[in-house]
Amino acid sequence: MKKLLLWLAIGGVTYYAIEGIWRHITCSDPPHIAMMIIGGLCFITVGCINQIPRFYAMPMCIQAFVGMLAVLLIEFASGIVVNVWLGWNLWDYSHLPLNLYGQVCLLYGGLWYLLMPFAIWLEDRLNWCGAIIAERHGKTQKYYLPIYDYSLREAYWWIIKHERTE
């Protein structure tokens, strides 16, 4: 439970910062605090998918695509709840091409695809650091926790090469 809360916080703050920078460039409205929770949920979801050995063995380009789809699904579901049901109108993509009910835009899906290697790398790095800290304190892992140590540059290189060379 502590790990999930930590991932929610790290993913949420990271997403909120990215969203804040993007909104500063494109418009003057600051992001709503609810977007931090949505970003954290996306990070947790990508992290949970990334813990499946079959998924991790896939080429990074496929991992990034699956992560992008997961984020778009969460964004769509969140948009229906916060924008349609609650009427908060946090975002509206209806003016953009390739949008689905104004809640998600496939053009932004491309940006999510480019951010996925970073999210996967960050989640792996956090797990790797957590395993080292647990080992130094003599604690054993209660569940399967793969330890992956690679650079962010390698993560993006794997998208181009379509395979891992470890």
Q: Percentage of residues in the chain with pLDDT exceeding 70?
A: 90
Residue 166 lies in a domain: no
Cα gap 146→51, rounded to integer Å: 7
Q: What local confidence, expressed as pLDDT, does residue 144 receive?
A: 46
pLDDT at 165 over 60: no
Q: Which two tokens stand for residue 164?
A: 């891992």
Residue 120 lies in a domain: yes
pLDDT digits over 106-162, tens only?
A: 999 999 999 999 999 898 888 877 777 777 777 766 544 555 667 888 888 877 776
Residue 70 lies in a domain: yes
pLDDT digits over 34-51, tens only?
A: 999 999 999 999 988 988
Question: How many other CB atoms are there within 10 angstroms of residue 136's CB atom?
Answer: 8
> The whole model's pTM is what?
0.83
Q: Which residue has the higher pLDDT, 59 or 86?
A: 86
Residue 79 lies in a domain: yes
Q: What local confidence, expressed as pLDDT, does residue 87 receive?
A: 94
Residue 42 lies in a domain: yes
What is the enclosing helix (H) or strand (E) of 61?
helix 60-79
Q: How many domains does the chain have?
A: 1
> 36 is in which domain, residue-wise?
2-161
What is the enclosing helix (H) or strand (E) of 100?
strand 99-100
Cα gap 89→111, rounded to integer Å: 22
Lowest mean pLDDT among 25-29, 62-66, 124-128: 25-29
